[in-house]
Structures are given as C-alpha cells and as structure tokens.
A = this chain, B = another copy of it.
Amino acid sequence: MLPDLPLEPVLEIIGVFVSGLSGALAAVRKQFDVFGVLVLAWAAGLGGGMLRDVFLGAVPPVGISDWRLIATAVAAGVVMYFFHPSLVRARRAIVVLDSGALALFTVVGTVKGLEYGAAPVAAVFVGVFTGVGGGVLRDLLTGEVPVVLHHRQLYAIPSLLGAVAIAGLWAADAYTTATSLLVVGGIFALRVLSLRFHLHAPGPWRGRAGWHGEHT
C-alpha cells in the first residue's frame, strides 16, 4: 500500500514546466519578444490553475502567489527561449509530456475543488478547467482559436472522465494516493492511445451524409 505522500506538489511542478514549454513554444513561433515568451510560459503553465482558484474564491490564485510554481513556469520559458531550435524537433516528446500535464492538472484541480467544498459537478468542471485552461489562455493570447475546441483529438474527454472518476472516488471515500495515481495514469493512457490510434471526436453532424470531416 502506498503511503499518502505529498506527491501532488511535485507532480504539479512537472505539469507546470511541461505546459510552460508549450506556451513558450507558441510564443516563439509568433516571434514574440523575450517578455512575451515568459508570459506565455506562465499563462500556459498556470492559467488553468488561475481559473480554478478564481472560481473557487481561492485568492490570490497560486499562479501569482506560489513562487515555486511561478519560477518553474519562468524556467520553462527561459529553456524554450534559448533552446527552441532543438526543442521544436522534440515536439513529439512535448506532446506526450503535455498529456501527462493534462492528467496531473485535472486530478489536482478536481481535488482542490472538492477540498474547498464545491459540489461534485462544480469540482468536475474546475478539474477540467485546470486541465485545459492553460492551453485555452495560450491560444487566446497568441491570437488563435483555442485548439481544444476544434482539433477533434481526444483531449478534454479524457480530462472529463478523469475528473468524474475523482469525484466518484471522493464520494465513495476511496480517494487515496494510489487511486489518484491510477486516475492520472488512466487519463494519460487514454490521451496517448487516442494519439497513437488517431481516435477523433466527431465534427458537425451532417444528417444522412454522416459527420463532416469524418475519417474514412
């Protein structure tokens, strides 16, 4: 049996770093200046948690008050600023790591919602926002339509399923380090497998003609 170690802070820092890389990469591609690169690392790494904290009334949000998380996001920005020619080639690795961040943020966010006494449905929403919010903020700040809304990959769906699982475990008094890591692993596996096997969410329904953009 696993002890209830304070794993969450460590996992959260890893998630912030990887998400921060994705934000800084988007900024580099848009030819932002060095300040813009750091801000995008911060927004992508901590934006989901900011939204979560504002919705829970947990102010000031960790994104501006927890210096360890802020330093982590800034470090991700600095790394991407200097090494982006190499890191662009490692994009596949970043996508996989980012799936890990999605999984971690979802679980950490849902649990924080429940700890703040939110109803299960609110905690689930908060968890999904924590998971996908950083990417949405990254896209809005770089002038893009949020990719999670139209790319048809399975990204929010694994997050949603994981948040529901955590809320269920919490209600059943079965939330432990072990079960939470299981959910993290499940979200991550679903996301990575969907990438590997090109599973997609359907586009707009076209009646008898089937889905628009259906992959035949």
Binding site for B on A (CB under 8 A): 27-28, 30-37, 39-40, 54-57, 59-61, 64-65, 67, 70, 81-82, 84-85, 113, 118-119, 121-122, 125-126, 129, 140-146, 148-152, 156-157, 200-207, 212-213
Cβ-defined partner of A34 (8 Å) among B55, B56, B201, B207: B201
Evaluate whether A118 and B60 lie within 8 angstroms (CB atoms) in the complex, with A39-B149, A55-B54, A84-B204 already known.
Answer: yes
13 examples of A-B residue contacts, CB within 8 angstroms: A27-B149, A31-B212, A33-B201, A34-B202, A34-B205, A36-B148, A39-B149, A54-B55, A55-B60, A60-B118, A60-B119, A81-B204, A141-B149
Q: How far is the CA of A60 from the CA of B28 in the complex (A)?
A: 35
Cβ-defined partner of A28 (8 Å) among B61, B146, B204: B204
Other than the known A64-B125, A64-B126, what 15 A-B pairs have Cβ atoms closer than 8 Å? A31-B150, A32-B150, A32-B203, A34-B201, A35-B201, A37-B204, A39-B156, A56-B59, A60-B119, A60-B122, A60-B126, A70-B125, A81-B204, A81-B205, A143-B144
Q: How far is the CA of A148 from the CA of B141 in the complex (A)?
A: 11
Contact A149 B36 (CB under 8 A): yes
Q: How far is the CA of A200 from the CA of B35 in the complex (A)?
A: 11
- For A151, give the chain B residue with the smallest CB separation: B33
Identical chains in the assembly: 3
The residues of B that contact A32 with a CB separation of less than 8 Å are 149-150, 203-204
Evaluate whether A33 and B152 lie within 8 angstroms (CB atoms) in the complex, with A55-B60, A65-B119, A140-B140 already known.
Answer: yes
Evaluate whether A149 and B33 lie within 8 angstroms (CB atoms) in the complex, with A67-B121, A81-B204 already known.
Answer: yes
The residues of B that contact A146 with a CB separation of less than 8 Å are 141
Contact B149 A40 (CB under 8 A): yes
Q: How far is the CA of A207 from the CA of B141 in the complex (A)?
A: 26
Contact A64 B121 (CB under 8 A): yes
Q: How far is the CA of A164 from the CA of B174 in the complex (A)?
A: 45
Q: How far is the CB of A150 from chain B (nearest CB, A)?
A: 4
Evaluate whether A60 and B64 lie within 8 angstroms (CB atoms) in the complex, with A34-B202, A81-B204, A143-B144 already known.
Answer: no
